[in-house]
Amino acid sequence: MSDNTEASSPRLLDVRELEVTYANGAAAVRGVNLHVDAGHKLGVAGESGCGKSTLALALLRLLPAGTKVSGEILLDGEDVLTMKWGRVRAVRWAGASIVFQGAMHSLNAVHRIGDQIAEPILLHKKATQAGAKTKVGELLEHVGLPAARAEAYPHELSGGQRQRVMIAMALACDPRLIIADEPTTALDVMIQAQILRLIEQLVSEQDLGLMMISHDLAVLSDTCDRLAVMYAGRVVEEGPASEVYENARHPYGKALSAAFPRIGDAASRFAPRGLPGDPPDPSALPTGCTFHPRCPVALDTCATEDQALRDAGPHHRAACVHAGAPLPAQPTSAPATAERTP
Ligand SMILES: Nc1ncnc2c1ncn2[C@@H]1O[C@H](COP(=O)(O)OP(=O)(O)OP(=O)(O)O)[C@@H](O)[C@H]1O
């Protein structure tokens, strides 16, 4: 993503022209550019299959062997893609760490949570055994759990508490960047709100950078400063969070915001509406704009001409022929194909 902010020191995270193609030929990430600065919160939105998790995994070189990756992933100015493995291991947890969705699956059921949080601390030699124990207690209290919960096993905690543990674990080695991949998807709405507030609080207290990934544009717009909307492996819209959510200039961004009205926002301008069809198979992408087969306002040219990001407002860009002007009114009648909520 580009804006006019000139950083004097390297950006915390600067992703340039990132391409990821799986061994089966699936082009899951295509030419992605985005950045996160300290204290900034970037939301990455898109339906299932748009490449969000692939992007997150690429950032810490967690993709399966045989995956082709090109471009640059600069973490504090250092390219993760060209680092030696020893350095990559040092950067994981200590430079950047990931909070995955579904804490129950990410935590080891047979180990006490205190031991699991201590593991990266010991692995990265951040403290002695005794020091790690103290640090675990502090981390648990920091995420709103009593230090004594270190003795618990994952099944003894609620879903929200487990997700707090995952956040404590992500913070264990004092990273500067947190990547949160659908951190609240499995949680009920009240707990979801608590976890989101916790993440926001930690980011601001510790001046961390945050990249939060979700299919839910409302959640992202509530938590993040800026949003990048991904479709078929590309960023198709980016800009200030409230602008992208309330005034999307790409028909896909518009459909996503319509599908996720803000919770309790009775005055939401958008009626919840599904978007027909599915994202394309990344091994067989459509010609032209990859969104054109689903687009309610596509022109003939969209079937043949690819669309690059272009200005759609202050610090706001969209990869659409209509980006320079308000989107044409979209059809309100039921789509021909079955409705599917993104
Ligand atoms: N290991 C893999 N091998 C081949 N293709 C893959 C692999 N992992 C993901 N894909 C494909 O890459 C595309 C992007 O998947 P990805 O999981 O990154 O999307 P996503 O937006 O994060 O979706 P979700 O929210 O469901 O995880 C999908 O078409 C998916 O089927």
Q: Residues with Cβ < 8 Å from 329, sequence gap 6 or more?
A: none
Ligand 1 atom index nearest CA of 26 = 5
CB 196 within 8 A of CB 223: yes
Q: Which residues pair with 29 in a beta bridge?
A: 20
**Ligand 1 interacting residues, C-beta cut-off 6 A:** 22, 24, 26, 28, 46, 48-54, 64, 282
Ligand 1 atom index nearest CA of 279 = 29
Edge-to-edge order in the sheet of strand 234-240: 96-99, 177-181, 209-214, 41-45, 226-231, 234-240, 316-318, 310-313
With respect to residue 207, please indicate whether it lies within any of the assigned structural domains. no
b/e map 4-28, b = 16+ CB within 10 Å: eeeeeeebbbbbeebbbbbeeebbb
Question: Which of 150, 220, 211, 128 minimizes the C-alpha distance to 175?
Answer: 211
ipTM for the whole complex: 0.97
With respect to residue 154, please indicate whether it lies within any of the assigned structural domains. yes
Residue 125 is predicted with a pLDDT of 86
CB 243 within 8 A of CB 263: no
Cα–Cα distance measured from residue 261 to residue 121, given in angstroms and rounded to the nearest whole number: 40
The amino acid present at 73, given as its one-letter code, is I
Number of residues that this document lists for the chain? 342
Ligand 1 atom index nearest CA of 51 = 18
Q: How many helices (H) and strands (E) does the chain have?
A: 10, 12
- 278-310 pLDDT, tens per residue? 899 999 999 999 999 999 999 999 999 999 999
With respect to residue 209, please indicate whether it lies within any of the assigned structural domains. no
From ligand 1's centre to the CA of 48, what distance in Å? 8
With respect to residue 146, please indicate whether it lies within any of the assigned structural domains. yes
Ligand 1 binding pocket mutation candidate from 53, 216, 230 (most atoms within 8 A of CB): 53
Cα–Cα distance measured from residue 20 to residue 2, given in angstroms and rounded to the nearest whole number: 21
Angle at 114 between CA 113 and CA 117, to 5 degrees: 85
Residue 340 is predicted with a pLDDT of 35
Locate 218 and state its tokens.
């409302």
**132 is in which domain, residue-wise?**
105-174
Residue 225 is predicted with a pLDDT of 95
Residue 322 is predicted with a pLDDT of 92
Closest C-alpha to ligand 1, atom 31: 49
- 239-259 pLDDT, tens per residue? 999 999 999 999 999 999 888
Cα–Cα distance measured from residue 226 to residue 220, given in angstroms and rounded to the nearest whole number: 9
From ligand 1's centre to the CA of 281, what distance in Å? 10
From ligand 1's centre to the CA of 135, what distance in Å? 36
From ligand 1's centre to the CA of 214, what distance in Å? 14
Question: How many domains, in total, are found in the chain?
Answer: 1
Ligand 1 binding pocket mutation candidate from 19, 20, 22, 230 (most atoms within 8 A of CB): 22
Cα–Cα distance measured from residue 33 to residue 295, given in angstroms and rounded to the nearest whole number: 24
Closest C-alpha to ligand 1, atom 2: 22
Residue 40 is predicted with a pLDDT of 95
Residue 124 is predicted with a pLDDT of 87
With respect to residue 230, please indicate whether it lies within any of the assigned structural domains. no
Distances (CA, A) of 322 to 77, 237, 325: 35, 12, 6
Ligand 1 atom index nearest CA of 24 = 4
With respect to residue 128, please indicate whether it lies within any of the assigned structural domains. yes
Residuewise pLDDT in 10s, the chain (342 residues): 544 445 467 899 999 999 999 999 999 999 999 999 999 999 999 999 999 999 999 999 999 999 999 999 999 999 999 999 999 998 998 899 998 876 567 788 999 999 999 999 998 888 899 999 999 999 999 899 999 999 999 999 998 899 899 999 999 998 999 999 988 877 788 888 888 898 998 899 989 999 999 999 989 999 999 999 999 999 999 999 999 999 999 999 999 988 877 655 544 444 445 678 889 999 999 999 999 999 999 999 999 999 999 999 999 999 999 988 777 766 533 333 333 333
Ligand 1 atom index nearest CA of 281 = 29
